[in-house]
Amino acid sequence: MNLTRQLEYTPAFSSFFKFYLGYMSTNTLQIPTGFVAQMRGLVPKKCILRNDKGKCWRINVEMVGQDMFFTKGWSVFVLENSLDDGHLLVFYYDGEMTFNFTHYDHSACEVEEEEEKSTKRKKWHTCFSSSSIFKYGLVKTPENPFFVTKLQRKKPNGLHVPADIMRNYGIKLPSTVLMIDQEGRQIYTEVVTWTDGRTRIVEGWKLFVRNNNLNEEDRCICEIVVNDDQPPQVLFLKMTVLRAGSWLPKLIGRHNN
C-alpha cells in the first residue's frame, strides 16, 4: 500500500483514558466506544502496550458486537503494573498496533517502573494502598491502627503485616493473635517474624478466608485493637470484609461499563 492510500484509510488516532476498577477490569478492559468508532473497522487481533521505559506487553484484542476489549494478556499487565482501584491509565495509539500508556496512582502522580538490584520488578504481596477504599466516604476509617489487604493467588495461606504499622504505633505482635470477623467468629492465629523484620500470620488466615468466602477482588480491613487499660495487655485483629467494588459509588461503575 502506498503512502497516499495508507493516509486515506488511516483515521486520526488519538488517546483515551480509563480508570481501573478491579471488580470489572481484572481480566478484560473495554475500550471507549468513541475511540472504537475512530478505528473505522481497522481493529487488530493483537496489540502491544508499551510504557515509557520501552517495556511491552502483548495483548489480544476482541470485538463483542460493537464493543472492543483487551483480553488475553490483560490480567498479566494488571499484575505486573500493580494496578489498584482508582488508578488512571492514559493510552496513546500510534495507528500501528501499539498503545503507549501512562499510569497514574491515587495521588494523581505518574507511576514509574521500579527496579531492584536483581532488575526484577517489585511486586505487591498482601498489603495494598487503602486510599481507594475510603476515597468516596462509603467506608468509615478505623480509629485504631489498621492496614488493608486482599487475597493473593500465589500466597493464599498467609497474611503479611506491614512493618511500618507496627513501627509507627509501637506494636509488637505476640506469637499468637486472636482474629475476630464481622460475625464474631474467633480464630487463634500463629505469628511468624523473620530476622529481616517481615511479619506474617501463617496459621488461621486460610480458615478466615474460607469462613468469609474471601475472593481476590474483595478487600479486608485489618484493625489492630489494643486494650491496655489493665494488665496483661490484650491485642486482637478486628477483620472487616469489603466485597468487590462495595466501596465505590454505583454511578462510577455504570459510567465505566
As given in the structure block, the three cell numbers for residue 241 are 470484609
pLDDT of residue 53: 80
Inter-residue contact 182 to 156 (CB < 8 Å) = no
- 87, 9: one domain: yes
Q: Average pLDDT for residues 58-79, to the nearest whole number? A: 90
Last-in-domain residue among 81, 113, 145: 113
Distances (CA, A) of 208 to 161, 164, 241: 15, 24, 10
Chain centroid to CA 142: how far?
A: 21
When pLDDT is cut at 50, 70 and 90, the band that residue 80 belongs to is: confident
Pairing of strands 98-104, 46-50: parallel
Q: What CATH code is carried by the domain that includes residue 47?
A: 2.40.330.10
pTM across the whole model:
0.48
**Number of structural domains in the chain:** 2
As given in the structure block, the three cell numbers for residue 73 are 494478556
As given in the structure block, the three cell numbers for residue 163 are 512493618
pLDDT of residue 118: 34
In a domain, 186, yes or no: yes
In a domain, 64, yes or no: yes
Q: Average pLDDT for residues 189-194, to the nearest whole number? A: 86
Q: Buried b / exposed e across 50-71, counting CB within 10 Å, b at 16+?
A: bbeeeeebebebeeeeeebbbe
- Residue 241 clears pLDDT 90, i.e. is over it: yes
Q: Is 129 helix (H, G, I), strand (E, B) or coil?
A: coil
When pLDDT is cut at 50, 70 and 90, the band that residue 182 belongs to is: very high
Determine the structural domain holding residue 157 and report its residue range: 127-242
Inter-residue contact 59 to 49 (CB < 8 Å) = yes
From CA 21, how far away is CA 110, in angstroms rounded? 18
Q: What is the Cα gyration radius of the chain?
A: 22
pLDDT of residue 199: 86
Residue among 178, 190, 164, 186 at smallest CA distance from 227: 178
- 76, 145: one domain: no
The single-letter code of the amino acid at 15 is S
